[in-house]
Structure formats: structure tokens, C-alpha cells
Amino acid sequence: MRKSDNIVLSYLYAEYINIARSIVNKYPGYNIDVEELLQLSMIIFCEKIIEPSFILTAKLSTFFYPFCHNKCREMIKEKGKNRTNEITQEDDIPDEKIQSSEMEEWLAKYGIEGMRNCLENLREKRKNIIIDYYYRRLKMADIAIKENLSNAEHAKVEKSRAITDLKKCMGI
């Protein structure tokens, strides 16, 4: 799961669709899409699992249930507010609380959309390295295997190049 293997994800999808269905059945009249709920819950669930400090102390499905239930409630609330379920919100992304007027100016100038555009324009391999490192929290050795690089050092070099490309794109 930590390496987000497709076979594992498919297995979990088939196993947990009934959990999502049973939760949706608890809230009739809200027209919550079961598959949408399952997918969004699985994203949060997998993000939790990849945390280094994570220790599983219960059955996986028992652990999954509250994630799915909370997501369902969130979706109901969002429906009430007529908001979309697009994952572009930064609400639940941890904020490291850096405060600086310079930073605010910089953010106002470029914003997150600028960074996203730059990231999308990176070479596929470099983009994957950034996502694997910062989102999937993979180690450099694992990234090297995934991206067919010779070793962890090579992956580090590619990561540095990706960051340099991003800085150029962002005008730093």
C-alpha cells in the first residue's frame, strides 16, 4: 500500500466498496456517489498509511471505516454549500506557518497555480520524482528503482535538477 501498488489498490477497491455503500445507505436522500466517496476516502487513507509514524493497531477495514464515514459527512456538507469535490482545496494540507512580508508578496505574485503549472511542465521523470518524494514520501532508493535510475544518488541528482527547473520556471 505504501508503494501504492495497483494490484493492492484494486483488491482494496473491491473489498471496501461495500463499506462505502453501507455508509451511503445511512444517509438516504443526499445522492452521494459511492465510487466518488470510496476514491476520496482511499486517498486520505493511503496518505495516512504512508506517514512514517503510522502503526496499524486494528483490522485494516476497521481503520478504514471512520475515514470513509468522515468523508461522507464532509461530502454532505459540501453538497449543502454547493461546492465541488475537486481536489484543489488546500484546506487539509499542513501549513508550516512561515510568516514573512516577502513571502506574502511572492505568493501573491506566483501562487500555487503557478507552481502547479511549472510542475506539470517538468519532464515526466523529474515530475514523478518530486511527487514521489513529497507526496508519496518514498525514499530515494525506492524512487531510483521506480524510475529506472541507477541508484539513490542518481535519483538525488535528478531531484536537484527538477528543483532547479522549477526555480527557473518560477522566476527565482
Partner 1 sequence: MDGENEILIDGFLSGTLSEKEKQIFDQKMIDPGFVLEVTFYKQMKTAAIIEGRNEFKKRLEQIGLDHSNKKEPILILFNQAIRQIAYPLAASFILIVALSALYIYQSSYNQLSKFSKKGGYSSIIKTNVKVSSLNSVSWKQSILLLKQTRVKPI
SS3 of residue 31 by DSSP? coil
Cell of 3: 508503494
CB of 10 to partner 1, least distance (A): 5
Asked if 119 is part of the footprint of partner 1 (rule: CB under 8 A), the reply reads: yes
CA distances (Å), 114 to each of 86, 119, 120, 122, 132, in order? Answer: 18, 9, 10, 13, 20
Asked if 63 is part of the footprint of partner 1 (rule: CB under 8 A), the reply reads: no
Residue 8 host element (H or E)? helix 6-26
Backbone angles phi, psi at 134, to 5 degrees: -90, -30
SS3 of residue 154 by DSSP? helix
Give the separation between CA 48 and CA 52, rounded to whole angstroms: 9
Asked if 125 is part of the footprint of partner 1 (rule: CB under 8 A), the reply reads: no
Beta carbons within 10 angstroms of residue 160's beta carbon:
12
Per CB under 8 A, the segment of 55-63, 65-73, 125-133, 140-148 that binds partner 1 is 125-133
Asked if 90 is part of the footprint of partner 1 (rule: CB under 8 A), the reply reads: yes
CB of 133 to partner 1, least distance (A): 8
Per CB under 8 A, the segment of 62-70, 76-84, 124-132, 144-152 that binds partner 1 is 124-132
Closer residue to partner 1 in complex, CB, 4/63 = 4
Is 119 exposed, middle or buried (CB count within 10 Å of its CB: 0-12, 13-18, 19+)? Answer: middle
CA dihedral 45, 18, 56, 40 (to 10 degrees): 0
Asked if 160 is part of the footprint of partner 1 (rule: CB under 8 A), the reply reads: yes
Q: Which one of residues 43, 56, 141, 157 is an interface residue with partner 1 (CB under 8 A)?
A: 43
Asked if 60 is part of the footprint of partner 1 (rule: CB under 8 A), the reply reads: no
The contact set with partner 1 (CB under 8 A) reads 4, 6, 9-10, 13-14, 17, 35, 38-40, 42-43, 46, 52, 87-88, 90, 93, 96, 98, 100, 102-103, 106-107, 110, 112, 115-116, 118-120, 127, 130-131, 133-137, 160, 163, 166-167, 170, 172
